[in-house]
């Protein structure tokens, strides 16, 4: 698979491109029993819930890799204006989406 550049900016310096369309990558993760127990204890004493933070970091990485793969499938060289969206599904699941605009570089 070719490498697809992913940026959060609208423009890529020195590149001209045509828009191919919107692309996204999504993942949904569930919290396991051990994470829920740890989170419950942290609710009592306060502080960061490191297992949840790790889960969200991993979810973002998975979503970006899926975004990259979906962009490559349509022949994109890059994705501009990449953003994340996340939300809870019920009490035990977290969904993370990475989305942006797939673009193809124009020949010089």
Structure confidence by residue, pLDDT tens digits, 30-62 = 866 555 555 555 556 677 778 788 888 999 999
Give the domain CATH number at 45: 3.30.110.70
Per-residue model confidence (pLDDT) at position 32 = 64
CB atoms within 10 A of CB 59: 21
Instruction: Report if pTM > 0.85.
Output: no
pLDDT of residue 6: 98
Query: From CA 55, how far away is CA 30, in angstroms rounded?
Result: 9
d(CA 54, CA 46): 17
How far apart (Å, rounded) are the C-alpha atoms in residues 26 and 32? 20
Which pLDDT score is estimated for 53? 82
Domain count, the chain: 1
Res 20 pLDDT > 90 = yes
Q: Is 80 exceeded by the pLDDT of residue 92?
A: no
Q: Residue 99: in which H helix or E strand, if any? A: strand 93-105
Range of the domain at 73: 5-105
Return the pLDDT at 93. 79
**What are the φ/ψ torsions at residue 62 (nearest 5 degrees)?**
-65, -45
């Amino acid at each position: 698979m070719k490498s697809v550049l992913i940026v959060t900016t609208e423009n890529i310096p020195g590149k001209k491109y045509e828009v191919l369309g919107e692309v996204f990558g999504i993942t949904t993760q569930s919290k396991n029993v051990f994470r829920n127990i740890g989170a419950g204890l942290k609710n009592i004493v306060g502080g960061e819930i490191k297992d949840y933070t790790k889960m969200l970091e991993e979810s973002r990485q998975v979503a970006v890799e899926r975004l990259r793969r979906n962009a490559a499938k349509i022949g994109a060289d890059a994705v501009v204006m990449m953003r994340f969206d996340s939300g809870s599904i019920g009490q035990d699941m977290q969904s993370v989406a990475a989305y942006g605009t797939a673009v193809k570089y124009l020949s010089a």
